[in-house]
Chain A
Amino acid sequence: MPAAIQCRDLRKTYDGKVEAVRGLNLEIQPGECFGLLGPNGAGKTTTIEILEGLSQPTSGEVSILGHSWRKDEREMREWLGISLQETRLSEKLTVRETIELFASFYREPRSSEEVLEQLQLTEKADSWVGKLSGGQRQRLAVATALVCNPKILFLDEPTTGLDPQSRRQLWDIIRAFQRDGGTVLLTTHYMDEAERLCDRLAVVDHGQIIAEGSPADLIERLGGHHVVEFSVSGSNGAAGASPGSANEAWRGLPSVESVREDDDLIALNVKQPHLTIPALLEAIDRQGTQLQHLSTRQASLEDVFVRLTGRHLREE
């Protein structure tokens, strides 16, 4: 069985200068929910639009369930569902009219009523699109993608800007689609979304994949299991004088995998906190500085991302 989505050495250069995608390889299996995670401007949208056949790669190969855009575009459109980042559907059409319009483009669409019901839009079926809330609009956008009964669903930042409840509704819809055997490729810059929805993820930065794996796997490999965060008084001066040596001191504590500094907060990625913390307290005592703050938590994808790029996900 061919991979649901496969691309090799994908590159996209705009105007011969800006390299949005720089040699990207992906292989997504049927039935998987795969996430492209990265900050704004990392090349996620460019990548997903190339995979959707809406944009031409400068070089590289794309294959969707064994088909190529160059040969089978029309056929492929019949079984691909797409939701772009921020499409503004016509405001003066009703929800039902919009779904029926999209349904009319496919040879064998699903019934609009069924799609309305699945996306909990039945109540709003006769409202104008202009009157919908953000969450309802986003569900409608996904409805226009699901109306063709797709084998693969492409979602570009499906929940950006939505309230928590609307996000959860959409997650349920995506999970249900996947449970029925569908393949999902989504982009997001939300960690929790990636952790909950995706079987596998690729962390994208500057047009390249810098890590790939299941969320748990990535966290274990790159984030350490736990994070110990603390700050000490007087550490500013010490760190300012020789930050490298200060970091070295923390790095040498038992079970510590990596150290990073965030403003005046120091975060240690740790395998076994019960070994690290006593040693840490002792070290602080030896330095003659005062502990200001100490907390421990489970490592998250955010930690993975910061570890990989030195930046937070939602920084511009």
Chain B
Amino acid sequence: MSTTQETPVTAIKTQPMPPHRNGRWAGYSHLLMARLLELKREPEVVFWVFVFPLLLALGLGIAFRNKPGDAASVAIVAGIGPQDAQALLTHSPQHELFKMQVLPAAEAQLGFRLGKFDLVIEPDGKGGMEYRYDPARPESVLAKSEVNDALQSAAGRKDVITTTVVTSSEPGSRYIDFLIPGLLGMNLMNSGMWGIGFALVDMRQRKLLKRFVGTPMRRGDFLLAIMTSRLLLMVIEIGLLLVFGVLFFHMRVLGSVFSIAAIGGLGSLTFGGVGLLTASRAQKIESISGLINLVMMPMWIFSGVFFSYERFPAVIHPLIKALPLTALNDALRASILEGTPLLNQWPRLLVMALWGGISFVLALKWFRWT
């Protein structure tokens, strides 16, 4: 290396400025501000935390929107007297429930096998009908019973008992109403696990945690700042998704804003604690990614995000209910859809508090700063 261009030591005058004293919470408030700025400047975070759940709700809400029951599609085998059956059905009061096609027998059978038709009607030529249906397909069973009713009443059957019908597709009982609280819960879990677990391991891998503990920074303040940023984000997450549900799907929110926020806050802290525990020792972001997915996987499946866990065998219900996401989802649904007061939900809140609290204590014990 040549020394010809060596510059003389630049005269740096360090004129003494009046010392600035930091208060007790200066470190905490700077850490919180830094965390929020980083999140704001990370477009991926904005997408995954805020936009993605909205898109998911929109997509699923449209796919499973409530619409008039599908018209049953019925094949009538061409042959002797198909016109009779068709005429009877067309003139029956329920005729808009059916889509009818007259076809040769072979074609009708094929269409039935492929699921194109729910029911095949074959007039036997003596005024009688033969129904071909599949008892394992609900829509096939339904079509058989409806077609039979329609035919019989069109042919003059009189009902013995007078019945009246009330239809119910009110807000509160639709799929989207079930879905949105589930998405809220899942989102709080996702952002708690990734926003805390992943972020901490990333900082550990970058040796930033080690650098921080090389300063007089209070370690508790650091963790508190991370948790606070999580809570602030939670308020926005819940608010956005609920407002979206109300505006777009005319969802009805029965519970008070306070109790929903309280449940959301507890849920955030719970998954913050679980995230912290998951991240307490991992050194590499590759290993934490695997761990986080491992922890979240059972809850995605069992905790009733997209469908009710009632579908699982009753034996394992107690186990499912002991999962923190189940407790959070159930609590959110009860509060949002039924307006159940917080006090009546204490077992669910307790489940969450235990998961969060125990995780937090263990995490602090095992946490590796370096």
Query: Interface on A for B, CB 8 Å cutoff?
Result: 52-55, 74, 77-78, 80, 82, 84, 86-90, 92-93, 97, 100-111, 114, 117-118, 128, 144, 148, 164, 168, 172-173, 175-176, 179-180, 192
List 13 contacting pairs A-B, 8 Å CB cutoff, sorted by A.
A53-B214, A54-B210, A80-B214, A87-B211, A92-B37, A93-B34, A104-B31, A105-B212, A109-B22, A148-B215, A172-B9, A172-B10, A176-B12
Complex formed: what's the CA distance from A114 to B214 in Å?
22
- Is there contact, CB below 8 Å, between B27 and A84? no
Which residues in B have their C-beta under 8 angstroms from that of A100? 30
* Residues from chain B with Cβ under 8 Å of A84 in the complex: 207, 210-211, 214
In the complex, the chain A residue whose C-beta lies closest to that of B218 is A105
Which of the residues B12, B20, B37, B210 comes within 8 Å of A87, measured between beta carbons?
A: B210
Whole-angstrom distance from the CB of A305 to the nearest CB of chain B?
18
In the complex, A53 Cα to B214 Cα: how many Å? 8
Expressed in whole angstroms, the minimum distance between the Cβ of B13 and any Cβ of chain A is 9
Minimum CB–CB distance for B18 against chain A, Å: 9
Assess the B206–A88 pair: CB atoms within 8 A: yes
CA distance A54 to B217 in the complex (A): 13
Of B20, B22, B29, B211, the contact of A82 (CB 8 Å cutoff): B211
Query: Shortest beta-carbon distance, B44 to chain A, in Å?
Result: 11
Q: Is A114's CB under 8 angstroms from B37's CB?
A: no
Task: Report whether A93 and B37 are in contact in the complex, using a CB–CB cutoff of 8 Å.
Answer: yes
Q: Is the CB of A88 within 8 A of B20?
A: no
Cβ 8 A contact of B29, one of A74, A92, A102, A104: A104
Our pick among A93, A106, A175 for the contact of B22 (Cβ within 8 Å) is: A106
- Whether a CB of chain A sits under 8 angstroms from the CB of B107 is no
Question: B208: which of A77, A88, A148 is its contact (CB, 8 Å)?
Answer: A88
- Find out whether the CB atom of A168 lies under 8 angstroms from the CB atom of B207: no
For A104, give the chain B residue with the smallest CB separation: B30
B287 at the interface (CB under 8 A from A): no
Q: What is the size, in residues, of chain B's interface with A at 8 Å between Cβ atoms? A: 35
Q: How far is the CA of A87 from the CA of B19 in the complex (A)?
A: 28
Hey, which bits of chain B sit against chain A, CB under 8 A?
Answer: 1, 6-7, 9-10, 12, 14-15, 17, 19-22, 26-27, 29-31, 34, 37-38, 41-42, 206-208, 210-217, 370
**Cβ–Cβ contact A105 & B21, under 8 A:** no
Q: Which residues of A contact B19 (CB under 8 A)?
A: 108
Q: A54-B213, A54-B214, A93-B37 are in contact. Are A107 and B206 (CB under 8 A)?
A: no
A180 CA to B7 CA in the complex, in Å?
A: 19
How many cross-chain pairs have Cβ atoms below 8 Å apart between A and B?
Answer: 101
Question: Other CB < 8 Å A-B pairs besides A108-B19, A111-B17, A114-B17, 13 of them?
Answer: A54-B370, A74-B216, A92-B37, A92-B38, A103-B22, A105-B216, A105-B217, A106-B215, A107-B21, A108-B22, A109-B22, A110-B17, A192-B1
In the assembly, what is the distance between CA of A95 and CA of B370, in Å?
24
A101 and B211: CB pair below 8 A? no
CA distance A308 to B20 in the complex (A): 49
Cβ contact within 8 Å between A114 and B14 = yes
Q: Most chain-A CB neighbours within 10 Å: which of B31, B214, B370?
A: B214
Residues from chain B with a CB closer than 8 A to the CB of A87 are 206-208, 210-211
> Could you tell me if B10 and A105 are in contact, using CB atoms closer than 8 angstroms?
no
B41 contacts across to A, CB distance below 8 A: 92, 128
User: Separation in Å of the B240 CB from the closest CB of chain A?
Assistant: 22
Cβ 8 A contact of A105, one of B20, B215, B370: B215
User: Are the CB atoms of A77 and B216 closer together than 8 Å?
Assistant: yes
Distance in angstroms between the alpha carbons of A118 and B10 in the assembled complex? 10
* Chain A residue with the shortest CB-CB distance to B6: A168
A55 touches B370 (CB 8 A): yes
Instruction: Evaluate contact between A107 and B216: CB separation under 8 angstroms.
Output: yes
Complexed CA–CA distance, A117 and B206 (Å): 26
Chain A hits for B217, CB < 8 A:
105
A114 to B18, CA, bound (A): 12
How far is it, in angstroms, between the C-alpha of A267 and the C-alpha of B41 when the chains are bound?
58
Give bound CA distance, A62 to B370, whole Å.
19
Q: How far is the CB of A308 from chain B (nearest CB, A)?
A: 23
- Residues of the A chain whose Cβ atoms lie less than 8 Å from the Cβ of B212: 105
Give the docked Cα–Cα distance between A101 and B36 (Å). Answer: 13
The contact of A89 among B6, B31, B208, by CB within 8 Å, is B208
Q: When the two chains form their complex, are residues B207 and A77 in contact, meaning their CB atoms are under 8 A apart?
A: no
| Candidate in B12, B41, B212 with the most chain A CB atoms within 10 angstroms | B12
The residue of chain A having its C-beta at the shortest distance from the C-beta of B209 within the complex is A87
How distant is B3 from chain A, measured CB to nearest CB, in Å?
9
Residue of B nearest to A154 (CB): B214
